[in-house]
Chains A and B, each alone.
Chain A
Amino acid sequence: MSDEELVRRLWERDEQALSAVQQQYGSYCRSIALRILGNEADAEECVNDALLKTWSSVPPNRPDSLKAYVGRITRNLAFNLYQKQRAGKRGGGSFEAVLDELAECIPGGSEPEEEILKQELSAEINVFLAGLSKENRMLFVSRYWYADSIPEIAKRFRFSENTVSVRLSRLRAKLKKHLTEGGYI
């Protein structure tokens, strides 16, 4: 079923539409949540919450891409839960490595407590991504949106793990340069 059809049925408050969303995107959402949270039980709970939030937010929202919409809600909920669970603990876990890599993109001189307008930062990242080749963009999104592991990315793109690591490192340096030039210091 197309996203357009699913969104239409959600707007019609068709209860079967939510089952259809779960069938179509349940695994997709579960994989997003699992990569961030690291365990099935939390991921399952997160996906259930995401589906409920989708039901209660469509309408009034009418997303063009239901896949991205549900994925975003899941990612947001998973990350919120991750941060709550992590409070008081230090480091560890494969997802923590994703965050540590992103730390390299933060321009020098930037204070941790500095208020950053998330929307502005998203807009800058969009500009950065638009300037990449499709393959590089897919690599970057796989790692830093979907939190795929390096071995998973290597297998999917048919690269060696070292190649993936090197290319991501270069992309992070490029993002850092972009943010520095954009004045995020």
Chain B
Amino acid sequence: MKKEDLFEAMEGIDARYVEEGREEPAKKPGSWDKWVRFTVAAAAVLVLAGAGALYFEKNPLSPKVKAPIEKHVKPDEPAKDIPEIYKVPHWEDMKDVQRFSSFLLNGKEYRTMLILVHPENVGEALGTGTLRGQDLYTDEVHTADETAYAVKGISTDAAVCVCMPSEPDRAYAYVNASWRPETLGAFIGQLSLRETMKTGLVYTDRGPDPDIVYEDVATEKVWEMLLSGAEDTVNEGPDLTVGKRILSIAVRVDLLGNHYKTFTLTEDGYLMTNLLETGKYFRIGRERIDAFVKEVTENHQGYIYIYDTPTGEVGIPE
């Protein structure tokens, strides 16, 4: 063993220890510190008393908005068939779908999202394309030819699915990062969103402060207030300034398994989404957005999530 081996092996230590190495060391208490602690405790009482008033004073929404409630939640489980990643993986340690990040077919590049497509949704064969991946340590490029298949209900301009060399019975979705539907109507139609899309949590975007999460906003409300009647809206993306984010809506396209993305509403009146990894910006107007925000914030209870970790520690999401 060489000293360099030991230094390299240090690279693989637990990510928690890496982060811990940059924490502020615990202060050693001295007599002066006792006075500081007393003063801080006294000040904290005053701060807490003022916090409630300050929240409502700064809250730009109507007085009908209820104050958010703290809620303890468990963090999401990682995808079961993809191992948890604690270090930069070596080529030999990865599954094929992790290795081959892109797929080339008929001049288009599709990128993996590690999403399994249900066998029922695998469509007709489209021809042979090339899987491509690069070893992050050696920079060596690896390729493999495989057959592409359509995903039923989704335009092949948007996505295809491919079986991996080591998993011929499982098809993974690869999405076309360059796909740019011309209008919101084309976007909805080419992904069959009316049949395939479900919406989930809605959350305000408050920068460094914890998001306020709304749990029970119906998908139908999203269609009715944001998407219907706006089908001719042109896709203006991707090089665009859209203003600050106001609200985001988690969306899921069932045809692509656990493919979770968001619709985000901005202060300049845009609905933007990276559903299927492509930048899309539809200017649906501030009026629609304000009406939706009002509907959500005045008629639904908001929560501030506090994530309980597996060790039992409690953290507040940043």
Contacts and interface: CB of A to CB of B under 8 A. Distances in A.
Interface of A: 1-2, 4-5, 11-15, 28, 53, 56-57, 59-65, 67-69, 71-73, 75-76, 79, 83, 98-100, 102-103, 105-107, 110-112, 114, 116, 118-119, 121-123, 125-126, 129, 134-135, 137-138, 141-142, 144-146, 156-158, 184
A121 B9 contact: yes
A86 to B, nearest CB: 10
Given A4-B317, A75-B11, A83 B277 contact: no
Contact of B12 (A53, A119, A135): A119
A141 to B, nearest CB: 3
Given A65-B18, A110-B1, A145-B18, A122 B7 contact: no
A141 B85 contact: no
Interface string B73-89: 00000100010111111
15 contacts: A12-B274, A13-B111, A13-B278, A57-B101, A63-B85, A72-B11, A103-B6, A111-B1, A121-B1, A121-B5, A122-B13, A129-B17, A138-B21, A145-B18, A146-B21
B87 A72 contact: yes
A142 B21 contact: yes
A141 B112 contact: no
Nearest to B8: A118
Interface in B3-27: 3-23, 25-26
Secondary structure type dominating chain A contacts = helix
Contact of B20 (A57, A141, A156, A184): A141
B188 interface: no
**Closest A-B pairs by Cβ, 7 of them:** A122-B12, A141-B21, A12-B274, A68-B15, A121-B9, A2-B318, A103-B3
A157 B1 contact: no
Contacts of A15: 238, 279
Contacts of B1: 106-107, 110-112, 114, 116, 121, 184
A64 B8 contact: no
B18 A71 contact: yes
Contacts of A102: 3, 6-7
A13 to B, nearest CB: 5
Given A1-B208, A60-B112, 19 more contacts: A11-B113, A13-B274, A13-B279, A15-B279, A59-B101, A59-B112, A61-B98, A64-B15, A65-B16, A67-B19, A69-B85, A69-B87, A126-B17, A129-B17, A138-B20, A138-B23, A145-B18, A145-B21, A146-B22
Contacts of B10: 122, 125, 144-145
Contacts of B34: none
Given A12-B261, A65-B19, A125 B9 contact: yes
A25 B89 CA distance: 21
B192 to A, nearest CB: 21
B114 interface: yes
A173 B2 CA distance: 16
A15 B111 CA distance: 15
Contacts of A62: 78, 82, 85, 114
B255 interface: no
Contact of A121 (B6, B82, B137): B6
Contacts of A145: 10-11, 13, 17-18, 21
A71 B18 CA distance: 8
B267 to A, nearest CB: 16
A110 B37 CA distance: 52
A28 B6 contact: no
Contacts of A105: 6
B318 A118 contact: no
B85 to A, nearest CB: 5
A60 B6 contact: no
A41 B18 CA distance: 25
A2 B210 CA distance: 10
A79 B12 CA distance: 14
A64 B76 CA distance: 11
Contact of A83 (B4, B16, B318): B4
A59 B6 CA distance: 29
B2 A112 contact: yes
Contacts of B84: 64
Contacts of B261: 12
Contact of A118 (B12, B14, B16, B238): B12
Interface in B64-115: 78, 82, 84-89, 97-98, 101, 111-114
